[in-house]
Amino acid sequence: MPTDKTSTLDDVIGELRDGMTIGIGGWGSRRKPMALVRALARSDVKDLTVVTYGGPDLGLLCAAGKVRRAYYGFVSLDSAPFYDPWFSKARTNGEIEVREMDEGMVKCGLEAAAARLPFLPIRAGLGSDVLKFWEGELKTVESPYPDPDGRTQTLIAMPALKLDAAFVHLDLADAHGNAAYTGVDPYFDDLYCAAAERRYLETDQLVSTEVLVKSVPHQRLLLNRMNVDRVVHAPNGAHFTFAGDYGRDERFQQFYVASAKDPEAWKAFSRRFLEVDEQTYQREVAAWQDDQKEDGQ
């Protein structure tokens, strides 16, 4: 019988250290491992480097002052007002050092790390200010093979994005780390896991291996046991981003944005939704949603 990897959020946080590089799966405001992000935001861990296709995950970590450096292709909430307020504040206050890059460079850097290569060549980035964002850390590489016309291609040498830890959210998983997505897009969660030393999976539904493999076509089995160290059962864990069984909570995301505008409002938001454990968060969200429904009538 393979190892039972089921863990609590606290088990995961207990393995993290100051200064780590953490990759966060999902995309923008889509299937983000928000339960793990919330646990990290309320922990004592600090000075993190975050690698992400950024959304409110990066926003919440910026709000908690956890981020020293960020590597990202973009940061977006995917619906109006699109720009994450806490990431914006961290940037305009000069609080974080960024290694902004083309979206395709994130994939490329994770693939290099997954294959244990120091770099992979890519065109994206050439001629743009990505090179300036990287302040000398990003270099080019010349092909040893000239083109037919005798000229030689010089390309971006995208360095491996090696991660100390990866956080991902999958819709369905077993206790051993086999996991599947049920939505329309796997995003890059397998690459984050392949690029990381320690791999942390949260899932909406924890099921037996038999149920898992019968529930989805084989091609949806994105992660296998070699990719995962701990499995956290976190129903609705991706909230307020969307996951397989539920849509994005647009109203709550807008409430998050509105709360960020005013210190008092943020204090209230933080007290109710962030300085609490995951169970309390989910209960308070349900209560908040009920209030919204009543207000709408």
* Residues binding another protein (CB under 8 A): 27, 54, 72-76, 82-83, 87-88, 91-94, 97-98, 100-105, 107, 122-130, 132-133, 147, 149, 151-155, 184-188
CB of 97 to another protein, least distance (A): 6
**Minimal CA–CA distance to 235: which of 172, 292, 167?**
172
Q: DSSP string of 20-73?
A: -EEEE-SBTTBS--HHHHHHHHTSS--SEEEEEEESHHHHHHHHTT-EEEEEEE
- Burial degree of 54 (CB within 10 A; 0-12, 13-18, 19+): buried
When the beta carbons of 187 and 273 are compared against another protein, the nearer one is 187
C-beta closer to another protein: residue 12 or 60: 60
Six-digit token pair at 219? 């091609």
CB nearer to another protein: pick between 72 and 167: 72
Least Å distance, CB 259 to another protein, is 18
Q: How far is the CB of 127 from another protein (least distance, A)?
A: 4
Give min distance, CB of 156 to another protein, in A. 9
At a CB cut-off of 8 Å and minimum separation 6, what does 242 contact? Answer: 29, 30, 31, 183, 248
Output 116 or 123, the one with its CB closest to another protein. Answer: 123
The residue (of 180 and 234) whose beta carbon lies closer to another protein is 180
Nearer to another protein, 90 or 173 (CB): 90
Give the dihedral of Cα atoms 280, 285, 290, 293; nearest 10 deg: 170
Query: Closer to another protein at the Cβ: 88 or 270?
Result: 88
d(CA 95, CA 116) in angstroms, rounded, equals 32
Give the shortest CB-81-to-another protein separation in angstroms.
Answer: 11
Is the N-terminal amide bond of 74 cis, ω within 30° of 0? Answer: no
- Output 104 or 235, the one with its CB closest to another protein: 104
Which secondary structure element, helix H or strand E, spans residue 199, and what is its range?
Answer: strand 196-206
What type of residue sits at position 132?
Answer: K
The single-letter DSSP state of residue 173 is E
**Rounded least distance, CB 107 to another protein, Å:** 5
User: Minimal distance in Å, beta carbon 168 to another protein?
Assistant: 14
CA distance 159 to 198: 20
Cα 246 from chain centre: 18
Buried b / exposed e over 93-114, threshold 16 CB at 10 Å, is: eeebebbbbbeebbbbbbbbbb
Task: State the nearest-atom distance from the C-beta of 215 to another protein, in Å.
Answer: 19
Residue positions counted in the chain: 297
